[in-house]
Amino acid sequence: MTDLVRWEPFRELMSLRDAMDRLFEESFVPTLRADWGKAGIADLPAIDMFETKDNVVVKATVPGVKPEDLDISVSGDVLTVKGEVKEEKKEEGTNYIRRERRYGTFRRDIQLPVSINLDKADAVFEHGVLTLTLPKAEEVKPKKLTVHAKGK
């Protein structure tokens, strides 16, 4: 006896769509910004940001970048980290078996949680990790106004 199987065209259509998505993802040569990590642009460079009582600290992983190739700026409440990973010289007569490291420029804009005092900011680069210590701006302290009675 033969079993009848119901034909579901949408199930086949979804598998075709998945196959087309995979085809497009694997076919195009991605740029540095689009290929650094599976999540895409947001992963370059990888950022940790935390807040202490007095500072906002940002740590960015930027392996292969020289400190002089980094450009850090603050505009309003947005911190921008830009840089370039330069390609190493190719060896004559080599045949690459695998080449996954990416080269080129990158840029990352990060919204700062509070206003900072850029004049007292500090940037340290060690072992491929950029650490920015950004002091919080002095908040306007409430002022008490004393009322004096005027004599006649």
Nearest by Cα to 78 from 124, 118, 32: 118
Q: How many CB atoms lie within 10 A of CB 106?
A: 20
What are the angstrom distances between the C-alpha of 18 and each of 9, 12, 24, 30, 40? 14, 10, 10, 19, 19
pLDDT of 60 over the 60 cut: yes
State the greatest distance between any 2 C-alpha atoms of the chain, in Å, as a whole number.
Answer: 116
Q: Is the dihedral of CA 19, 23, 24, 26 positive or negative?
A: positive
pLDDT of 11 over the 70 cut: no
What structural domains does the chain harbor?
32-135 (2.60.40.790)
Q: Copy the structure tokens of residue 137.
A: 């701006």
The band of 140, judged by pLDDT with boundaries at 50, 70 and 90, is: very low
pLDDT at site 143: 53
Beta strands in the chain (DSSP E): 46-51, 55-61, 71-75, 78-85, 104-111, 122-126, 129-135
| Helix, strand, or coil (residue 3) | coil
Q: Copy the structure tokens of residue 143.
A: 């002022």
Q: Is the pTM of this model over 0.85?
A: no
Q: Copy the structure tokens of residue 110.
A: 């990060």
pLDDT of 79 over the 90 cut: yes
Site of tokens 């740029």: 31
The band of 13, judged by pLDDT with boundaries at 50, 70 and 90, is: low
Instruction: Note whether 81 and 107 are within 8 A (CB).
Output: yes
Q: What is the pLDDT of residues 31-49, one digit of tens each?
A: 444 444 444 444 478 899 9
What are the angstrom distances between the C-alpha of 16 and each of 63, 96, 146? 39, 34, 77
